[in-house]
C-alpha cells in the first residue's frame, strides 16, 4: 500500500474508532440509566406497598378496637365472648388475605417492570459486546496501519550510501 492510501485508511479508521468509542460510552450511560430507573421504580413500589400495608393494618386495628369496645363487658364464658373471639379471628384472616393479595399484585408489577428492564439491559449488553469487538478490531487494524505506514516511509526514504 502506498503512503497516501495508508494515510487515508488511517484517517477513516480513526474516525471509526472514535464513533465506536462514543457508542460504547452511550450504551454504558444508557445501562446505568436503566439501573437507576430500576432502583427508583423498586423504591416507589415498596413505598406504595408499605402505604397499602399501612391502610390494611389501620383498618384491622380500627375493627379490633371497635369490637373490643363493644365486648368490654362480655363474660369470658358466654356465647357473646365466643362470637367475639371468632370475629377477631376472622378480622385477622381478612387482614392476612388482603396482605397476600397485595403482595401478589405488587409482585406482578415488579416482575413486569423488571422483565422489561432486564430484556432492555440484555439487548444493550449484547450491543456493547459487539461494539467492543468491532472497536478492538479497528484498533488492531489501526496499529497495523501505523506499522505499515512506518515501513512504507522507511522503504521510500532516499538512502544515501
Please report, for the chain, the start and end positions of each structural domain, with discontinuous segments joined by +.
Answer: 3-154
- What is the DSSP secondary-structure string of 69-95? HHTTT--TTSHHHHHHHHHHHHHHHHH
Would you state the pLDDT for residue 136?
96
Q: With 0-12 CB in 10 A as exposed, 13-18 as middle and 19+ as buried, what is 138?
A: buried
* Residue partners of 156: CB distance under 8 A and separation at least 6: 3
Label residue 1 by pLDDT band (50, 70, 90): low
Residue-wise pLDDT tens digits, 100-131:
999 999 999 889 888 888 999 999 999 999 99
pTM of this prediction?
Answer: 0.68
Helix (H) or strand (E) holding 158: none
DSSP 105: H
CA distance 74 to 85: 11
Would you state the pLDDT for residue 119?
93
- What nine digits make up the cell of 68? 373490643
Mean pLDDT across 44-62: 93
pLDDT above 70 covers a percentage of the chain that reads 96
Residue-wise pLDDT tens digits, 21-51:
999 999 999 999 999 999 998 899 999 999 9
Amino acid at each position: 500500500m502506498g503512503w497516501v492510501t495508508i494515510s487515508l485508511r488511517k484517517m477513516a479508521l480513526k474516525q471509526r474508532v472514535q464513533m465506536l468509542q462514543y457508542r460504547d460510552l452511550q450504551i454504558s450511560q444508557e445501562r446505568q440509566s436503566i439501573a437507576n430507573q430500576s432502583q427508583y421504580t423498586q423504591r416507589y413500589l415498596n413505598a406504595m406497598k408499605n402505604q397499602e400495608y399501612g391502610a390494611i393494618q389501620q383498618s384491622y386495628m380500627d375493627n379490633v378496637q371497635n369490637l373490643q369496645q363493644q365486648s368490654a363487658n362480655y363474660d369470658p364464658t358466654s356465647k357473646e365472648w365466643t362470637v367475639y373471639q371468632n370475629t377477631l379471628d376472622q378480622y385477622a384472616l381478612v387482614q392476612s388475605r388482603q396482605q397476600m393479595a397485595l403482595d401478589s399484585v405488587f409482585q406482578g408489577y415488579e416482575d413486569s417492570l423488571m422483565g422489561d428492564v432486564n430484556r432492555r439491559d440484555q439487548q444493550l449488553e449484547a450491543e456493547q459486546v459487539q461494539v467492543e469487538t468491532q472497536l478492538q478490531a479497528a484498533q488492531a487494524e489501526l496499529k497495523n496501519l501505523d506499522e505499515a505506514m512506518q515501513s512504507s516511509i522507511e522503504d521510500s526514504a532516499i538512502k544515501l550510501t
